[in-house]
Amino acid sequence: MELNTINKEVAKRTEKVTLRHFITESGTELSAIRIFYHSWGKLNSRADNVIWICHGLTADSNAAAWWPGLIGPGKTFDTNKYFIICPNTPGSCYGSSTPKELKSAADLPDKINLKITARDIANMFDLMTVQLGIKQIHILTGPSIGGFLALEWAIANTLPVKKLALVATSYYASPWNIAINETQRMAINRQNKKAGLATARAIAILSYRSAEAYNSTQQGKNETNEFYAATYQQYQGEKLVKRFSPDAYEFMIDLFNSHDVSRKNTDAHAALSKVNIPVLVIGFTHDNLFPPREQHQLAEMIPGATLQIIASDFGHDAFLTESRKVSAIIKNKLNI
């Protein structure tokens, strides 16, 4: 699914905010952080009609393009009723501070890596709401690592959130996740950076899709006698290289790996028990990145959470390909 798809039905705005003197979890001060965002609809007089969307690993802030069917007049995220906002995660490629800019803002020696965690990003978003004058979030949501950020923010409970929708995500980066991410990092660091990024993306796609999806859509060979499955992998790698940077990709992998609600001498159950609002957890039957059992665990540890597993052969990417089903479930289960 192309991120640059123009959704002509939905009027959108693009703006940015700048945070000053941000302190990370590790104690590093960043002098300035730029956060680019898309928004739709209008903030009401009470500043509480907000739907906040956190995006996935390589997505951008134009959620109406990559999550079709959710945002617009009369849709689940109704632009006539709600102010919908999706910020681009700092360290990504789409308008927010780049990894190089973040490192410069931290004024760290070259040999010392800047550590930015999922909780740090959630804290940045929280400070962003102050600048925008937001008093309450009606629905906080995110798919994949966007779900990491939404969950970290909900646990911190720094801004009132009424409802939480977690889609194809988890309460921690599992050893399986970290192994996949490390294999991608090895590909980037042992080749030409752009060629390495293409290889990393091809590796990632295998965790985003399922055997069922490949076996149903990539059978056979093309007119030059090449396997469709092989050319598809090449295509996916080449496509990402055109729109994403290796440095940003490694940054986002590190951000992914940082997520674990059980850190800081607590356990996952204790951390998740702090989330005392209506929570909807949505998973997919063939998600290899965040398997359904993790969705069950996540829902069991959050008091009163509702779990919905959608049958789909498209694995983790089903949060994109099954967006209409996701939309209907959010609308029905969260009563919006």
Q: What angle (nearest 5°) sits at the alpha carbon of residue 92, between those of residues 86 and 94? A: 65
Element (H, E) at 170: none
CA pair distance 321, 259, nearest whole angstrom: 25
Sheet with 50-53: list strands edge to edge.
13-23, 29-40, 83-87, 50-53, 137-143, 161-167, 279-284, 306-310
- Crossing angle between the packed helical segments 193-208 and 175-189, to the nearest 10 degrees: 160
d(CA 158, CA 127): 10
Both structure tokens of 227: 């396997």
- Looking at this protein, which amino acid is placed at residue 171? Y
Choose, from 78, 258, 316, 327, the residue flagged as catalytic: 316
Name the strand (E) or helix (H) holding 141.
strand 137-143
Residue found by looking up tokens 């104690």 in the block: 27
Instruction: Specify whether 316 is catalytic.
Output: yes
Tell me, yes or no, if 296 is annotated catalytic. Answer: no
Query: Catalytic: which of 61, 92, 96, 144?
Result: 144
Phi, psi of 168 (to 5 degrees): 50, 60
Which neighbouring-strand residues pair with 165?
141, 280
Distance from C-alpha of 242 to C-alpha of 293, rounded to nearest angstrom: 35
Alpha-helical runs (H) found in 267-322: 268-272, 292-301, 318-321
Flag whether 317 is marked binding: yes
Report which DSSP code applies to 317.
G
Residue 201 among known ligand-binding residues: yes
Separation CA 276–CA 289 (nearest Å): 27
For residue 80, is it left (φ>0), alpha (ψ between -120 and 50) or beta? alpha
Q: Which residues are catalytic?
A: 144, 287, 316
For the annotated binding site for substrate, the residues are 201, 317
